[in-house]
Structure 1
């Protein structure tokens, strides 16, 4: 057995504590407090190095957030402008930027069109067995 796998071996044999996941979640949530405390109390060269490290982490986080936001966005203008005439049903697509907004707009238009052709169905009142059989059915 390679060295350093003793922790995994112990976990396979004995398992984890029941509250392991909850404690790990809370520990991760408290890391921000500890990092803030460190940033306020470090002095000198250590403070400079720590600030640079935090700055790089924030840049990485902002890039990741921006990547997630741009994942669902359609570009407003095409790569090269088309010289052909664009049909009328495609003209409104250029104003929508987000794919989700475009999808919901199309669904809304479809619902409006269906509502125009819907015919109201009158409510039918239920009648009792005695009414539709009548009193003369008892022969």
Structure 2
């Protein structure tokens, strides 16, 4: 039986700034950061790259790390979006406004026929997000 699902986000040397960005944009807190150097990993030329980062957002955990070297092929051809369901219209609007900064909006935040306020975007770190707030049924 599945206990939990943890999104794992990869970056090419920008993990620390991404951790700070997502912490601010989504109201989370950084729980752990370890560099390749602190872990005594010799697989990179930049020992300040993050080998392990943990971000908690409303009790949900995200893991983040940098790839060991500048090899963008490790980041290509992904087809995953992270879906975030918010508990209020203002929360989804705030997250949308923050995450779209420097990114590419694929679907503007708008009311949808299925009874939700929804948006789809790829942020400035090339992470795909589906943002949603489902209106209460009356």
- Do they superpose with TM above 0.5? no
| Higher alpha-carbon Rg | 1
Q: Which has the higher contact order (CA 8 A, sep 6+)?
A: 2
With the length of structure 1 as denominator, give the TM-score of the two structures. 0.21
More strand by share: 2
